[in-house]
Amino acid sequence: MTTTRRPVAEDLFTWPAGPDDPPWLIGSECAECGLVSFPAAPDCVRCASTESKRRLLADRGTLWTYTTQDFRPPSPPYDGPETFEPYAVGYVELPGELLVEARLTEPDPGRLRIGQPMRLTLVPYTVQDDGTEVVTFAFAPAEEETP
Amino acid sequence: MTEAVIIGVGLHPFGRFPGKPALDMGADAVRLALADAGVTWPQVQGGYIGSYEVANPDAIVGRLGLTGVPLRGVFNGCATAGTALALAARAVETGEHDLTVAIGLDKHPRGAFAADPSVAGIPSWYGQTGLFLTTHFFGMKINRYMHEHGISHETLARVASKNFRNAAANEKAWRRTPLTPEEVLASPVLNYPLRQFMYCGPNEGAAALVLCRADQAHKYTGKPVRVRSTALRSRRLGAFEVQSPSFPVGEPVDSPTVDASRAAYELAGIGPEDVDVAQLQDTDAGSEIIHMAENGLCKDGEQERLVAEGATEIGGRLPVNTDGGLLGNGEPIGASGLRQIHEIVLQLRGTAGTRQIPGTPRVGYTHLYGAPGASAVTILST
Ligand SMILES: [Zn+2]
């Protein structure tokens, strides 16, 4: 049986994504002052310009802070599965771009640390009644690179 | 400009009151405040009233008396009550009213707030995927703060324990069962490092104040409390705020609390060293710790020692949240900040009973913080 997958929203990250097509977050860059935004924003909150261009964001960064989600969030707006699995949430600093809030693939706070290298990935966060997996972006701990 | 002073305070208990509408709680609070001030409703010339759940809180005139008084609804998230007080004080200062009221009331259902992210200008996926929780921000902010400034889990637990102990001595508080730091640390983690008994909960309640011109206060009371300054600030670009899918790189910009606090001290001509008692937004135990520094009451990292020494206890050098704070009282959003002012007024009058701080306190400080990054500070003095 083939599983159908779809992204939770259009224009949030590149799609389709697979082993040969790693995902990228889709942000925007102000045409006037260069401020980088995520999700992509037509208007700039720094200089009030209404001109921006699309920009794919770095897929690696470092963990700036994190927390865990140990209870099922209220539905709506949450549309994850009724059988709740705790997950972690953090801000990942993409150097020179911005800090982005995301789910983390590692739910154990004992295995997360501030400053940890992270890389972008996609996770199926819920399954619809027809079996379609809904996919969102997340960051996973990356191998430490030895200099 | 003349100065505004508080001459009456009224507080409906905070908690759960099945079958009692928020407007009735508000009317009770107003009647208590009027009685405290020794005035009657027809003497009130105007007022400001805040609520999250009640669409037309100004309908309270139907309970209090249809005198034609202008009563303006205000809403500013968790800073609602600070805004109601600020506008009421301004109406007196500018001469619009000689006698005015600030009222807050709310009645929230059980559990965490749930809303569509679009009301905050945020896309739907943020809520669908489980990121739209204010509690995440508080967990992440204190986690980073603990890492940078050496704050321990025990200190989080001591703060919560203090506030529940203070609430136990407050007949109008909601959570009146004292908990030891060990019991707090034994409660389940909700958002690491924050545990169940380190969070406040939404609930129900109301509070009201009566204000008048300082030069007329003698007609009503021998112990007016002066409104020395009020300040409200929203977030600036680069500040780390609740409900932010992203924020810019670079040195984080000061929170709106820091901005509002500085403005309030400057307007009042009062410094942090002059503050005798403070009420700080303790949405969670970590927030109280961070807000001590953001409001200039200590340096970053000093909290570890201050809390261990008991400095923020009722008998300490700088008592914080003497009525139990949000942890002990819960948060009916519209009323919360006026509950803070109510407590400061009792402390400055010397009538806080078993919660009374020792000595002769002269300066009180209150602070609110909430989504999407708004902070209100009020400085009061005798
Ligand atoms: Zn710009």
A27: CA distance to ligand 1 center in Å? 14
Tell me the pLDDT tens digit for each residue of A54-72.
999 999 999 999 999 999 9
Interface test with A, best of B122, B151, B196, B246 (most A CBs within 10 A): B246
Phi-psi region of B346 (alpha: psi -120 to 50; beta: other; left: phi over 0): alpha
pLDDT digit of tens for each residue in chain B (382 aa)?
A: 799 999 999 999 999 999 999 999 999 999 999 999 999 999 999 999 999 999 999 999 999 999 999 999 999 999 999 999 999 999 999 999 999 999 999 999 887 666 788 888 899 999 999 999 999 999 999 999 999 999 999 999 999 999 999 999 999 999 999 999 999 999 999 999 999 999 999 999 999 999 999 999 999 999 999 999 999 999 999 999 999 999 999 988 999 999 999 999 999 999 999 999 999 999 999 999 999 999 999 999 999 999 999 999 999 999 999 999 999 999 999 999 999 999 999 999 999 999 999 999 999 999 999 989 999 999 999 9
**Is residue A128 classed as helix, strand or coil in its secondary structure?**
coil
**Is residue A20 classed as helix, strand or coil in its secondary structure?**
coil
Alpha-carbon gap, residue B211 to B8, rounded angstroms: 7
Q: In Å, what is the CA distance from B160 to each residue of A93, B154, B291?
A: 31, 10, 14
Q: Residue B218 phi/psi, 5° resolution?
A: -60, -20
pTM of the model: 0.96
**Subunit contact A38:B112, Cβ cutoff 8 A:** no
**Is residue A42 classed as helix, strand or coil in its secondary structure?**
coil
Q: Does B128 touch chain A if contact means CB atoms closer than 8 Å?
A: yes
- Looking at residue A18, what is its pLDDT? 73
User: Apex CA A101: angle with CA A97 and CA A105, to 5°?
Assistant: 115
Q: Quick one: DSSP state of residue B284?
A: B
Q: Does A67 touch chain B if contact means CB atoms closer than 8 Å?
A: yes
Q: Which residues of B touch A138 (CB under 8 A)?
A: none
Alpha-carbon gap, residue B310 to B197, rounded angstroms: 20
More confident residue, A83 or B1: A83
- Looking at residue B195, what is its pLDDT? 98
- Looking at residue B143, what is its pLDDT? 98
Q: Does B114 touch chain A if contact means CB atoms closer than 8 Å?
A: yes
Q: Which residues of A touch B196 (CB under 8 A)?
A: none
- Average pLDDT (A115-128) is 96
Strands (E), chain B: 4-15, 46-50, 71-74, 99-107, 189-191, 194-195, 204-213, 225-234, 246-248, 277-279, 363-370, 374-381
- Looking at residue A3, what is its pLDDT? 76
Alpha-carbon gap, residue B187 to A49, rounded angstroms: 48
Alpha-carbon gap, residue B146 to B289, rounded angstroms: 10
Residues 6+ apart with CB under 8 A from B338: B11, B81, B84, B85, B102, B103, B104, B207, B208, B209
Beta partners for A93?
A62, A99
Burial class (CB within 10 angstroms; exposed 0-12, middle 13-18, buried 19+) of A117: middle
**Subunit contact B191:A69, Cβ cutoff 8 A:** yes
